[in-house]
Structure 1
Amino acid sequence: MEVEVALKKFHSLKLTDIMPRFETIPVVTADTDLLSILKILRTRHHVWVVKDRENMELIGIIRYMDVIDVLLPPEAHRFKLGMTSKTMKSLLGGAAKAGDIAERHVLTIDSDETVLDAIQKMRKYRIQVLAVVDDGRLIGEVSLRILIDELLRLLRVGGAQWRQ
């Protein structure tokens, strides 16, 4: 299989065909305590926050780098106009649960979209992970790492060779 053929196949794959099993993605509910979040973020780059496990309504995401805001004292956030919301994300500013610190503006992609759709969205917004949703409910995730793994798998299976 030529690389061009492999890429064409790769781009046309549905996200639901390459998403990891749902049980393997980091998901917590809005009322999860921050200590539990920090434990997850020791080994993961992010954690999805949902309203509850029954309806899986996506509330937000907490990224590894967001922990900086949690650890800083509230006054460290007040140096810029418009930073007051980050003040509340500090442990000392009153943040106690996942819902308190989750970034609410989450980039999502519908479950029926393709790999190419996901790559284009990642490029446009300069992000590495998208929540895969179905009617606002979290059903999975797609990340750059997952996409790379899938492309490498396709190239190995098809025996494609890079040509210089």
Structure 2
Amino acid sequence: MKVAQKRDAVLQGMFYFRKDICKAGGNAVVDGYGKAQQSTELATEEHEEYALMSIDTIINGKEGVFPGLIPILNCYLENMEVDVDTRCSILNYLKLIKKRASGELMTIAKWMREFIANHPDYKQDSVITDQINYSLILKCNQIANELCECPELLGPAFKRVKYSGSKTDSSN
């Protein structure tokens, strides 16, 4: 948690993550009960099951280190019977997560810091005035309602999928 709370941890931090997510590890759960074992042999085995990885490696994978959660999810989706709208929507969000993990797109925290730092009323004194706060909330609302684009946060062509038959579908 200490690493995750630091500024730009998504790009600079290293996090322990299971090397093989398919392998049952640690404390096996049988009939709903976890059994903690205290032997040093088990502790050594558990330690070897985890490795320090960047968020980019955990999410997108790295050859010879870890396959990545998004490639694993993509394989899973290929074997699922999912309608086209849902699959397209999921793939758009996975692409967003992939780009945030790699640093290609800003995280929301970084975007908010930069928005405030570049606000004309900000005096570099760590004080967020009511006007700065209002401007930030207004901008977030505009982005959320697709009234303005924010390519540094969402990418140049990010659009929420409008499901056929929904109230937001332009054909209704």
TM over 0.5: no
Q: Which has the higher contact order (CA 8 A, sep 6+)?
A: 1
Q: Which has the larger radius of gyration?
A: 2
TM norm structure 2: 0.24
